[in-house]
Amino acid sequence: MNSQPEPDVTVIVGAYQAMPYLVRCLESVESQSLGADRMEIVAIDDGSSDGTGEYLEEFAAASKVPTRVVRQANSGGPSGPRNVGLELARGRYVFFLDADDHLGDEALERLVAMADRAGTDVVLGKMEGVNRGVPRSMFGRTQEHADVATSMVIFTLSAQKLFRRELIQRLGLRFDESLTTGEDALFTMEAYLRGNGVSVVADYVCYYLVNRDDGNHATRRGDYTARFAAINALMDLIARLVPPGAKRDQLMVRPFTVGLLQQFGPALLKQTKSEQLHRMELAAPMAAYWTRGLSDRIKVGERLILTCVATGKLDPLKNILEFVRAKTVPGVVWHGRAGRLHLVYPHFRDRSAGIPDHAYAVTVPDWSGSRRVMPSSKRRPSAARRTARKVRRRLRRIRARR
């Protein structure tokens, strides 16, 4: 029986060919203000040949932080090592730290304090990029309880967060080893939706996301077929956990815009016809989740691309992508019985293309070039009222000249 007290946090480090970044990574754990007696490290060398495993063993022998090292054959991705770490973790919380990255000195202390105070099962810590971009929209302010559906937390589904281990055990949460990319999004989204709330620590940089000089970063794994599989799996998860309606539509914005949309950008125009058709084929099952409520939450240009994808309209899609690639500014017009603002992209009011007029309607704040276009809350004035207003303006100008 293990007589050591239960640590507050188990830091799980999966490492593959991680030198020299691993040195800074582990130093950042040792320097945590939380204290060595409140932490443990479970480090998994995933078949490295660059000295990663040897360094982990040296660190474990010398560090004050209790460290367990597992050396295994390469598993092909981060899911396997993380799952091994979860089997060995003893902490009240677990934190997944990539071997390329490092922590702010007070990160774990602040994250644990937030989880204990708020009683939440997932805590996001503010991130900063080192020679790379990072998500920022969800870190506008510190929140004890962030609404998963309406806040921006769904736009960061990476695993680098604090998770309550009791939740992981209760749900039997593990990373899907059949996916070569996007596995962390499934894990995190399920924790978001089935846990006891999400908190955000935004007033301190907890996590430094490092861009490796050699370009060998985990997020670049997998070809486009693997990415379609990951996107579809995330949509299926949301559909399984959330019934149809406004909340599901809001959550689905994430995999459609940060996922499917990236597979149908202007670069598609350079692909062969067979690949274009294959991508459309891979996207077809996701059309079941493309609803009017979801589409109305997305900007017009992106919505039109996704509408074409969801309805299998490859030729109109390519016309819209040409328009976007050329950086053409869409016109702004009032249209329809309700008198709503619409953006004039290709095939607007073209019945033969089969794209409904409402797909062009401005339903969220949007852009026409540098002009900000807001959803119209009022109907367009009638022709008679517009004429009357013009006459009044002319009369005022005439009087002003006198």
> Which active-site residues does the annotation give?
184
Q: Amino acid identity, residue 76?
A: G
C-alpha distances out from residue 197 to 5, 163, 171, 341, Å? 27, 11, 15, 38
- Find residue 343's DSSP bridge partners: 332
